[in-house]
Amino acid sequence: MSEVVNLIKNRRSIRKYSPRKVSGKILAEILDAARWAPSAHNSQPWRFTVLNETEEKKVLAEVMAKAWVIDLVKNRVPLEEAKKLAKRSIERFARAPTLIIACVTIADIPKHTDESGNRVEGELAIQSLGASIQNVLLAAHSRGLGACWFCAPAFCKAEVRKVLRLSDEFEPQALIALGYAAEKPEAPRRKPLREILGSCTGSKNSR
């Protein structure tokens, strides 16, 4: 148990990487860990697209950055500042040795006759994908790799789907940058346990 907990606590979100490539064997091991995550109804509604070539990573990064600039400006961020943020984002994703785009597959989500049931099933599928992404992050860390989970694709699903030529059944939700770390960030502050525990009415701990 202590080994697993230490792995969880020592993992960091890495945004700077060395040029060293990730071998196909290690990448396969990491992605294999993803499919062992728990999922609602055991539907396993996840699919992953892997990008290793600089040009394809750059094209995807530019498409996402363009959509981001539009959103930033709508939220009253000055255009020049938005462009600077977008440029940094493009460089970050293009320089990462590997990008993994995580998608939910609509075909694997159970269907209901009512809208509310289908909405909940969609939420459960996204929760399940999150569990598989955590497996990817921990598996990468266990192999001496750094990784970082980004949610950018969720804000421009149609654009990501188009540039990657994905079927309409694939709904892009997240992106994982992966490679050998070129930085050693400090652990970010975590809320103390008492702040994330709810109290139960009538229990001794609720007093």
Quick one: which of 130, 175, 137 has its CA closest to 156?
Answer: 175
Q: What is the model's pLDDT at position 109? A: 87
The single residue listed with the structure tokens 């994982």 is: 176
Sequence-distant (≥ 6) Cβ neighbours of residue 90 within 8 angstroms: 58, 61, 62, 65
Q: How far apart are CA 127 and CA 33, in angstroms?
A: 17
**How far is it, in rounded angstroms, from Cα 66 to Cα 83?**
9
All domains in the chain, ordered by first residue: 14-51+97-183 (3.40.109.10)
Band (pLDDT 50/70/90 cuts) for residue 110 is confident
For residue range 33-56, list pLDDT tens digits in order: 999 999 999 999 999 999 999 999
Could you report the per-residue pLDDT of 67-105, keeping only the tens digit for each? 999 999 999 999 999 999 999 999 999 999 999 999 999
Please state the pTM of the whole predicted model.
0.91
